[in-house]
Amino acid sequence: MADKINKFKPNNNKLALVILAIFCSILLWVYVTNQEGEVDEVTYSSVKVVIEGEDAMRDSKGLIVTDVNTTNVRVTVSGAPRVLARLTAADITAVIDLSSISRTGNYSLAPKITYSSGFNSSDLTVKASAPSSVNFYVDKLSTRTIDVKGINNGSTAEGFSAEPLEFNPGTVKIFGPESVINKVDHAWIEVSREDVDTSLNFASTFVLRDKENNIIYDDSITLERDTVDVTLPVIAIKEVDLVIATVAGAGASEENIVKKIEPSAKVTLSGDAEVLEGVNSILLDTIDLSKVDGTFTQTYTIVIPNDTEIIGNMREVTVTMDVIGLETKRVSIPLENLSFINLTEGYEAEIMDTSLNNVTLRGVADALEDVGAQHVRAVADLTEYGTATGIFSVPVKVYVDGTTAVGAIGEYKLYISITKAG
């Protein structure tokens, strides 16, 4: 048995060597095919163009790139199939190097094709690039300060009004190519809030516009800030009455008065809602009817509450007042019905007049007919004269005894002599 085994052993070794040789040949063929085999070409569209060195050029030279004619190129690359099988357009970059540029002007540079990590540039060959050059302009970097403007296209609730928009800050800085930012005139904001009944404060973005209000879109412009604070002041509006108050006198009361306020007996106010809530009228004056004889006419300046304003141009009104339904007659008050009060102690006084003549009484006809001179008296108050001596013209108050339906119109005086007693 051992002899049989030994007889076939050399043949078995020979078969193993043949199999090993075949396997090594296959490995060598695969290796050579991958390394030395046919080379393929692939065209990649939309390869991104990257401008390299923009920040350094802007910071050190004050220059900025504008008007780049393309943002991507088409690149044809050759290489081993196994490499190209993994390569995509996202792995390729067309780089424009700005390090050699030091002045403004038009430039045309061929892009340098680079690959992402994982790819060796020695395994790939650029066969073509279209376009072969990237054109751009290098401009001077400038700064401008522009005004913030805007418009309110919204609406307010009934009884409220919106004031002009306010912006903080009122200006913003923009940075970019001189030729581009010189076209910008202002930053523009539009507000479109509806049925607003209180002041609003909020942050808002803005757009850039030229002098003709055309919107400017340009990625080369850099903004100092993206938003500004906007205030939309909203105020309350209220129509209130203009009022003339009267104090009954000389037989006349409110029922005997015809009043006219021109150009209007109402005025429209604007202001804080809380302030206007308690304002329903504005008092122009209080008139003592005992001093109104015939037609009363007076012009008044409208005095409004603090923190309010008048809407419109009306700042003054003219008040006309007529007494109706009453009659008048004149009487003379005899000396015995003339007197004084409040004489300072230690002083003496003497009425110089023998009567007070031409006192006009007013009242309804029946009551006026029953009043005679004996019912009328005049009293002078000497309180304000203190220790003064001499002859004084002292105002008097006229009383009609026995009725309130008749009274004296106008103002009257008596001459009174004041001396120190003894």
Among the ranges given (5-14, 54-63, 162-171, 273-282), the one the predictor scored with the smallest mean pLDDT? 5-14
- 278's tokens: 């308690």
What kind and span of H or E run contains 48? strand 40-52
Please report the pLDDT score of residue 241 as a whole number: 96
- Band of pLDDT at residue 349, cut at 50, 70 and 90: very high
- Please report where in the chains the tokens 């050029």 appear, as a residue: 57
If one compares 29 and 77, the residue with the highest pLDDT of the two is: 77
pLDDT at 23 over 80: no
DSSP 133: S
Among the ranges given (20-24, 181-185, 326-330), the one the predictor scored with the smallest mean pLDDT? 20-24
**CATH classification number, 40-132, choose in 3.40.109.10, 2.170.120.30, 3.20.20.70, 2.60.40.10:** 2.170.120.30
Please report the pLDDT score of residue 127 as a whole number: 92
If one compares 11 and 296, the residue with the highest pLDDT of the two is: 296
Please report the pLDDT score of residue 36 as a whole number: 47
Third-level CATH fold of 327-420: RNA Polymerase Alpha Subunit; Chain A, domain 2 (2.170.120)
Per DSSP, helices labelled H in 264-319 are 273-277
pLDDT at 6 over 80: no
- Band of pLDDT at residue 263, cut at 50, 70 and 90: very high
Please report the pLDDT score of residue 114 as a whole number: 94
- In whole numbers, what is the pLDDT of the chain averaged over residues? 90
Please report the pLDDT score of residue 128 as a whole number: 92
Class of CATH domain 144-232: mainly beta
Percent of the chain at pLDDT > 90 equals 77
Tallying the residues shown for the chain, one arrives at 422
CATH code linked to domain 236-323: 2.170.120.40
Show the CA angle centred on residue 355, arms to residues 354 and 358, nearest 5°. Answer: 150
Helices and strands of the chain, counted as H and E runs: 6, 31
* pTM, full prediction: 0.54
Letter for the amino acid at 201?
N
Q: pLDDT tens for residues 271-326?
A: 988 889 889 999 999 999 998 988 999 999 999 999 899 999 999 999 999 999 99
What does the buried/exposed string (b/e) look like for 73-91 if buried means 16 or more CB atoms within 10 Å of the residue's CB? bebebbbbeebbeebebeb
Within this chain, domains 236-323 and 327-420 share the same CATH topology: yes
pLDDT at 20 over 80: no
Closest CA to 161 of 111, 197, 135: 197
pLDDT at 9 over 80: no
Please report the pLDDT score of residue 219 as a whole number: 83
Taking the domains of the chain in order of start, what are their residue ranges? Answer: 40-132, 144-232, 236-323, 327-420
